[in-house]
Amino acid sequence: MEISIFIIRIMAFIYLALGVGALTNTKWYRELFDEIKKSKQFIFVGGMLALVAGFSIVSAHNIWSSDWTVIVTIIGWISFLKGLSLLALPTFGMGFAEKVLKIKNIIQTVGTFSLIFGIILGYIGYFM
C-alpha cells in the first residue's frame, strides 16, 4: 500500500501542474504541441519516457484490486502502451494527436480534466 500512496502522490502533482499550466498558459501549450508535431526527437524522447515510466509503474505495481489502488495500475499500463505506440507506430500516434488537437478548446478541456483528476488523486494520496 505504501508504494501505491507514493506513486499516486507523484501523479497528483503531475496532473495538477499540467492542469494549471494548460488552463493558465493555453497559447503556450498550443505552441508546444505544434512544435512537438514537427519534431521526431520530441516524439522519440516522449515515447521513451512514457515507456520507462509505464514499465516502472507496472513492474512495481501491477495490482488489479477493487479499491483505489487499481488507478495506479491503469495509469501505468496506459503510459506503457502510449510509449510503446509512440516508438513502434510514431506516425499513427502523431496522426491521432493532430486530429485531437484540431478540436476546439481541447487544451482547456484537457487542462480542466487534468486539474480535477489531480485533485482527486491528491485527495486519495493524502487523505484516504
Task: Label residue 17 by pLDDT band (50, 70, 90).
Answer: very high
Q: What is the pLDDT of residue 107?
A: 94
Asked if the model's pLDDT at residue 1 lies above 80, the reply is no
pLDDT digits (tens, 9 = 90+) for 21-48: 999 999 999 999 888 878 889 889 999 9
Q: Where are the domains of the chain?
A: 2-127
Whole-structure pTM over 0.85, yes or no? yes
Task: Label residue 125 by pLDDT band (50, 70, 90).
Answer: very high
Neighbouring C-alpha atoms within 13 Å toward the C-beta of 115? 12
Q: What is the pLDDT of residue 98?
A: 83
